[in-house]
């Protein structure tokens, strides 16, 4: 047989077992946290009809899609979990109960230019709450509580959930008659920390914005203080715009309930410059930053949208949701050594037999497993040193040694690998220690 060099495509994460244990631990914590809030699981195909998957897409996104033909069908791989959700909800509309709260954790595909920390296959961990026709603001307030609970569980360090409402920004731009320039302005504002106040003003002048309008924008983004102070100052701006005032009212209500949902004040703040690039956000928007690692960018983002599935149905399906891009986040956290698995190995114990007959060893393994201990049996005919080296490499915390003595005494010798201590004890006693 001719030999092919096995290799993995660039942009595809493939971890060693120890990293995978850690990755899975994080993924499971996210799942458990989503379930804690009563979100229902769904799973959708990775492959969809191009026509269905790309009903809305266009531009940059469409270029990145993995598309191909199979038989007479043009197919595509999902590039996010939002379009599949829109498909799922409209396809199953009559069988779902609204508000429909779902989580989905799965791989998505984007043929981006490969670069360090950018992935073509990556996990997204999404939650969304979809209303049938309408959806109350309470949901917008509950989402930060999910973020809070999730990242508290994940224990990556102190984080801040930044909240804004798109209506405030959109209302301001409407009021200033700058709607057509809004994306340019947001792009400029976004650079304020890098280039400073004066350059931001200069750049706005460059795109022909009146000085008094610039002043209003600068006054707006300069709003600081506590959450209450910010809301008060927004009120004091006297922006005569229905949209602005609606956004302010929504934001005020959301903030009120965020606290009731147990999010500590230190963990969230109003950030008036957050807009989120995506077109479909229409109300509350969220971004989340690790306080010590702001350079990682937002680690959990999302928002409120008026219309989940306008390209599939005439039904109005407003929603609110967030997404964690787990693969990229994991890469960043791992690179920055922010994370460590609570368990280095899957096995809690490994059984090493000093004799050739494995009957007793197999019995002990079975007893341990029945007691709920993840147990491995070392099976190969190697020198004792090699057997211990194996246990050591896998970082299994307990080694159970079985020889003639243990068999005749109906015991095992338990070695605590961390302490380096070992002693001959009864099987039940060992189970109590390890479990």
42 binds its own copies (CB under 8 A): yes
Q: In terms of CB distance, is 13 or 209 closer to its own copies?
A: 13
Q: Which of 107, 251, 99 is nearest to 168 (CA)?
A: 251
Considering only the stretches 134-142, 158-166, 333-341, 422-430, report the one whose residues sit in contact with its own copies under the rule CB under 8 A.
134-142
Of 363-422, which residues contact its own copies (CB under 8 A)?
Answer: 363, 365-366, 369-370, 372, 374-377, 379-381, 390, 393-394, 396
Instruction: Quote the least distance from Cβ 40 to its own copies, whole Å.
Output: 4
366 close to 347: Cβ distance less than 8 angstroms: no
**Order of strands across the sheet with 268-270?**
40-41, 100-109, 121-130, 319-325, 301-305, 281-290, 159-165, 268-270
Report residue 340 as tokens.
């460590």
Site for its own copies in 18-37 (CB under 8 A): 20-21, 23-24, 35-37
Measuring CA to CA, which residue among 180, 181, 174 is closest to residue 243?
A: 174
Describe the strand order of the beta sheet including 412-416 as a list of residue ranges: 375-377, 349-353, 398-402, 412-416, 421-425
**Nearest-approach distance from CB 222 to its own copies, in angstroms:** 31
DSSP 357: -
Q: Is the separation of the CB atoms in 417 and 389 below 8 Å?
A: no
Residues 226-265 that bind its own copies (CB under 8 A): 256-257, 260-262
**282 binding its own copies? (CB under 8 A):** no
Taking the least distance from each CB to its own copies, the nearer of 155 and 236 is: 155
Of the ranges 64-72, 172-180, 212-220, 398-406, which one interacts with its own copies (CB under 8 A)?
64-72
Nearest to 161 by CA among 305, 263, 35: 263
Q: With binding defined as CB under 8 A, does residue 8 bind its own copies? A: yes
Q: Least separation, in Å, of the C-beta of 23 and its own copies? A: 7
Site for its own copies in 284-323 (CB under 8 A): 309-314
Whole-number minimum distance, CB 59 to its own copies, in Å?
Answer: 15
Among 9, 60, 72, 193, binds its own copies (CB under 8 A): 9
In whole angstroms, how close is the CB of 338 to its own copies at the nearest point? Answer: 21
Binds its own copies by CB under 8 A, chosen from 201, 237, 362, 417: 362
Q: Of the two residues 117 and 372, which places its CB atom closer to its own copies in the complex? A: 372
What is the per-residue DSSP string for 46-58? SEEEHHHHTSS--
Measured over all CA atoms, what is the biggest interatomic distance in the chain, rounded to whole angstroms? Answer: 93
DSSP single-letter state for residue 95: G
Using CB under 8 A as the binding rule, whether residue 94 contacts its own copies is answered as no
Residues 323-352, interacting with its own copies (CB under 8 A): 345-347, 350
Number of CB atoms found within 10 A of residue 159's CB? 21
């Amino acid at each position: 047989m001719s030999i092919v060099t096995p290799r993995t495509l660039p942009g595809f994460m493939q971890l060693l077992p120890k990293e995978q244990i850690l990755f899975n631990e994080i993924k499971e914590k996210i799942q458990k946290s989503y379930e804690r809030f009563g979100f229902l699981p769904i799973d959708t195909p990775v492959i969809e009809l191009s026509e269905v998957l790309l009903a809305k897409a266009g531009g940059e996104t469409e270029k990145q899609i993995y598309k191909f033909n199979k038989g007479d069908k043009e197919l595509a791989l999902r590039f996010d979990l939002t379009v599949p959700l829109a498909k799922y909800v409209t396809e199953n509309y009559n069988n779902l109960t609204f508000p429909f709260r779902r989580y989905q954790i799965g791989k998505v595909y984007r043929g981006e230019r490969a670069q360090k920390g950018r992935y073509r296959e990556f996990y997204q961990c999404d939650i969304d709450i979809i209303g049938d026709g309408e959806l109350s603001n309470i949901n917008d307030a509950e989402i930060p509580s999910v973020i809070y609970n999730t990242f508290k569980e994940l224990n990556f360090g102190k984080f801040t959930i930044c909240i804004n409402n798109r209506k405030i920004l959109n209302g301001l731009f409407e009021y200033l008659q700058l709607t057509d320039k809004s994306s340019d302005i947001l792009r400029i504002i976004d650079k304020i920390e890098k280039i400073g106040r004066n350059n931001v003003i200069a750049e706005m002048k460059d795109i022909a914005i009146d000085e008094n309008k610039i002043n209003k924008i600068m006054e707006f983004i300069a709003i600081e203080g506590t959450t209450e102070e910010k809301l008060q100052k927004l009120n004091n701006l006297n922006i005569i715009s229905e949209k602005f005032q609606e956004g302010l009212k929504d934001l005020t209500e959301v903030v009120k309930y965020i606290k009731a949902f147990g999010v500590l004040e230190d963990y969230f703040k109003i950030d008036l410059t957050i807009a989120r690039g995506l077109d479909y956000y229409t109300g509350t928007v969220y971004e989340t930053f690790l306080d010590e690692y702001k350079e990682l960018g937002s680690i959990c983002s999302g928002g409120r949208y008026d219309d989940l599935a306008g390209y599939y149905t005439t039904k109005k399906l407003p929603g609110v949701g967030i997404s964690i891009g787990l693969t990229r986040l994991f890469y960043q956290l791992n690179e920055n050594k922010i994370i460590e698995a609570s368990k280095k190995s899957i096995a809690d114990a490994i059984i090493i037999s000093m004799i050739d007959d494995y009957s007793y060893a197999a019995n002990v393994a079975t007893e341990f497993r029945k007691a709920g201990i993840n147990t491995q049996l070392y099976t190969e005919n190697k020198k004792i040193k090699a057997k211990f080296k194996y246990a050591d490499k896998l970082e299994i915390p307990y080694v159970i040694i079985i020889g003639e003595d243990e068999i005749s005494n109906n015991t095992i010798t338990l070695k605590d690998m961390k302490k380096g201590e070992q002693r001959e004890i009864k099987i039940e006693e060992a189970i109590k220690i390890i479990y």
